[in-house]
Amino acid sequence: MHANTNIPAKPFNKSSFVIRMTLLMLVALTLFGLLTFDYKDLVLSEAIRKTGDTLGTMLIEPHAKHFTFGEALGQVTITIGLAFLTTLFGAVIALFLALLTARNLSRPAVSLAIKSVVAFIRAVPTVLWVLIFAVAAGLGSVAAVIGMTFHSISYLVKAYSESIEELEDGVIEALRASGAGWWQIVFQAVLPSSISYIISWTFVRFEINFAVAVAMGAAAGAGGIGFDMFMASNFYFDIREIGFITYMILAFAILLELLARWIKRKLAVNA
């Protein structure tokens, strides 16, 4: 073979070719879009500077005008309460449903039925469920609790049942062969094996529910810090107050995370 023959380093690969072409096209479209936007009177540099200013005002000069610090604390507690209550309801109901859903503990037909219903519930966002229940219960905390619990159940059933399915079938077989009943197997083998996963998932859901509970205050009138945020932004146009509330929420989110970690570490040591 001649030294100057063109030998490709890599043989032609259709999928990498397609990926490369797609990326190229996206770059071209982005450039085209940026060049042909109708910017009206907006000057990009000006806009970026102003956004920075607003964020700066919000985060550097936070204040509370329409409520005291104590009141804000009370409101955050309400939001956490909403998150806690819905997670607790969700966890208890989901645990029982998960036992009926896990393939190693249940009949295939029952498992499949619950799995499909739960998948449908999960596909619809939490906020939408709250608004659906608001038709019957009216906008407010009742609709928020029911709607959030509903979605928490569907999320946790999937998480729990998959944790339970991690357990080897042999362990269940061994206990069945010694004459143990279903409930005994659940409490003596299944739960001890999967409790740390179950608690982990519950905390993940608690964090999600905290974020949703903030949004519910604004969107569904469920009260709590979310409602104050809604008022500050939509009625008082007070960006500094929003900054204050953002810090409150951030502080509590960090606190929850630390608490979750602490509990998980305790469990890892004892379990």
Please state the closest distance from residue 196 (CB atom) to another protein, in A: 8
Query: Cβ distance 99 to 165 under 8 Å?
Result: no
Phi-psi group of 223: left, alpha or beta (phi > 0 → left; psi -120 to 50 → alpha; rest → beta) = left
Q: Which two tokens stand for residue 89?
A: 């309801």
Q: Which residues contact 265 (CB under 8 A, 6 or more apart)?
A: none
Residues in 179-218 at the binding interface with another protein, rule: CB under 8 A: 179-181, 183-184, 186-189, 192-193
The mark string for 142-161 relative to another protein (x by CB under 8 A, - otherwise) is --------------------
Q: How many other C-beta atoms lie within 10 A of the C-beta of residue 144?
A: 33
- Asked if 265 touches another protein (CB under 8 A), the answer is no
Stretch that binds another protein, among 47-55, 97-105, 163-171, 245-253 (CB under 8 A): 163-171
Cα separation, 36 vs 33, whole angstroms: 5
Q: Which of 59, 93, 117, 171 binds another protein (CB under 8 A)?
A: 171
Closer to another protein by CB, 28 or 92: give it.
Answer: 92
Please state the closest distance from residue 188 (CB atom) to another protein, in A: 6
Stretch that binds another protein, among 6-14, 131-139, 152-160, 168-176 (CB under 8 A): 168-176
1, with CB counted inside 10 A (0-12, 13-18, 19+), is: exposed
Cα separation, 82 vs 219, whole angstroms: 14
Q: How many Cα atoms occupy the beta-carbon half-sphere of 160 within 13 Å?
A: 31
Please state the closest distance from residue 183 (CB atom) to another protein, in A: 5
Please state the closest distance from residue 186 (CB atom) to another protein, in A: 8
Amino acid identity at 108: P
SS3 44: helix
**Euclidean distance between the first and final Cα of the chain, in Å?**
67
Q: Which two tokens stand for residue 71?
A: 């009141």
Stretch that binds another protein, among 64-72, 140-148, 177-185, 234-242 (CB under 8 A): 177-185
Residues in 43-62 at the binding interface with another protein, rule: CB under 8 A: none
The residue among 268, 100, 269, 113 whose CA lies nearest residue 186 is: 100
Closer to another protein by CB, 197 or 247: give it.
Answer: 197
Closer to another protein by CB, 8 or 179: give it.
Answer: 179
Number of residues that bind another protein (CB under 8 A): 21
Closer to another protein by CB, 70 or 179: give it.
Answer: 179
Task: Kindly list the residues in this chain that would bind another protein in the complex (CB under 8 A).
Answer: 168, 170-171, 173-181, 183-184, 186-189, 192-193, 271
